[in-house]
Structure 1
Amino acid sequence: MKNGVPMRDKVGIDFEGNPEAVKRCKELARHFRYNSPRQDNDLEISVVNELGREIHREFVHRD
Structure 2
Amino acid sequence: MRKFFFDMKDGVPMRDRVGIEFNTNAEAISHCKEIAQDFRNNSLRDDQDLEILVVNENGREIHREFVHREPE
Q: Give the TM-score taking structure 2 as reference length.
A: 0.79
Residue 5 of structure 1: how far off its partner (Å): 2.8
In structure 1, how many angstroms separate the alpha carbons of the residues matched to 2:18 and 2:56?
13
In structure 2, how many angstroms separate the alpha carbons of the residues matched to 1:43 and 1:5?
10
Quote the residue 2:38 is aligned against.
Answer: 31
In structure 2, how many angstroms separate the alpha carbons of the residues matched to 1:48 and 1:34?
24
Q: Secondary structure at the match of 1:14?
A: strand
4+ residue segments displaced more than 4 Å: none
In structure 1, how many angstroms separate the alpha carbons of the residues matched to 2:30 and 2:57?
17
Residue 62 of structure 1: how far off its partner (Å): 1.1
The alignment-based identity, stated in percent, is 71
Gaps of 5+ in 1: none
Gaps of 5+ in 2: 1-7
Q: How many pairs were matched up? A: 62
Q: C-alpha root-mean-square deviation of aligned residues, in Å?
A: 1.6
Q: Give the TM-score taking structure 1 as reference length.
A: 0.89
Quote the residue 1:46 is aligned against.
Answer: 53
